[in-house]
Amino acid sequence: MKDLLAVVMLLGIYSLLSASFFVTMDAVDVAFTEAAVGAGVSTLLMLVAITMTGRKEHPTRHKPLLAIVVVIITGSLLIYGTLDMPRFGLAEAPIHQHVAPRYINDSMQEIGVPNIVTSVLASYRAFDTFGEVVVIFTAGMGVLALLSMVRRSEDTENIDSNNYSMHEQHLILRIVSKMLIPFILMFAFYVQFHGDFGPGGGFQAGVIFASAIFLYTMLFGMNTARRVINQAFIQILAATGVLLYGSVGVVSLLNGKSFFDYSALASDPIAGQHLGILLIELGVGITVAAVMIIIFFNFADRRNYSPNKDSENS
């Protein structure tokens, strides 16, 4: 189909469906992240992108027959290669023999956090998670480097008149959102700090926080949102999250243990683990929320200067 808007919506359904799959396979954290990121933020960003590029796909001049043949051959070869692997979910498969039993057996004594996913992500594999946070931060910096533009000062004069004209059209939405947005922010904090005991953690909390800000921006206009949420502050916040994460590791180094060894943070090793996990999840949450807000503001800001200025002020 050539209609990109329909494709974006079908992608939203697809990500909701795959999150349901994860739920039936009992992988709760993954389903959480897939729901928040795939169905929420990803769909919104793609929508903003196609408002700038146009809604219909341009007709291609050549038939993609060769590409389809290559894809089918490669795909069937890969599937043939996986026929040799052990059955899905088999308990004696080699992947479940070496590292996983140690995590499952020892995680409660060594770290004391009921959610094994959080303990693996934040303590056993803290270095990998550090890499993920730095990647997210780099993506935000890339978007800033490519898409940011200097705002002219005469745009901010029209805020009040635009606010009023948008007010009648979206009145009910605005009032309901004013009641919902504090609840969404509180829920983001709940997910952040409850990540030790249930599904959640820094990534999901950051995305939920950012989506509350998206809701505010969409309904109250870009100019008002920029006055409420200062861009320079958000950029500093993004860097602060990564700095917090890295400094936890450096403090461990300075106390004589290895990098990201949390037992150096407090006198009791278990309390040290809890403190370490808390701090790095906070760092992850701050960075993810700030980077999402940066990306959305820069995408949506570009839209104001695109040729179709006859639309209402966004």
Considering only 60, 82, 258, 308, the residue that binds another protein (CB under 8 A) is 308
Q: Does 200 interact with another protein (rule: CB under 8 A)?
A: yes
Quick note: the x/- pattern for another protein over 127-166, rule CB under 8 A, is: ----------------------------------------
12 near another protein (CB under 8 A): yes
Comparing CB distances to another protein, the nearer of 126 and 218 is 218
Site mask for another protein (CB under 8 A), range 64-83, x = bound: --------------------
Distances (CA, A) of 262 to 105, 251, 269, 271, 286: 19, 9, 7, 9, 20
Q: Look-up: residue for tokens 């693996």?
A: 120
Burial class, 206, CB count within 10 angstroms (exposed 0-12 / middle 13-18 / buried 19+):
buried
**3 — phi, psi (to 5°)?**
-90, 115
Report which DSSP code applies to 34. I
DSSP H helical ranges for the chain: 4-24, 28-33, 43-53, 65-82, 100-110, 116-119, 126-147, 159-169, 171-193, 202-220, 222-228, 231-254, 269-304
185 scored as a contact of another protein (CB under 8 A): no
Asked if 288 is part of the footprint of another protein (rule: CB under 8 A), the reply reads: no
Which region, judged by CB under 8 A, interacts with another protein, from 94-102, 117-125, 151-159, 191-199?
Answer: 191-199
State the minimum distance, in angstroms, from the CB of residue 33 to another protein: 10
Under the criterion CB under 8 A, does residue 286 sit at the interface with another protein? no
Paired tokens of 266: 């407090």
Of residues 241, 266, 270, the one with CA closest to residue 251: 266
Q: Which residues make up the interface to another protein (CB under 8 A)?
A: 3, 5-6, 9-10, 12-13, 16, 19-20, 23-24, 26, 28, 31-32, 35-36, 39-40, 43-44, 47-48, 51, 55, 169, 172-173, 176, 179-180, 183-184, 187, 191, 194, 198-200, 204, 208, 211, 214-215, 218-219, 308, 310-312, 314
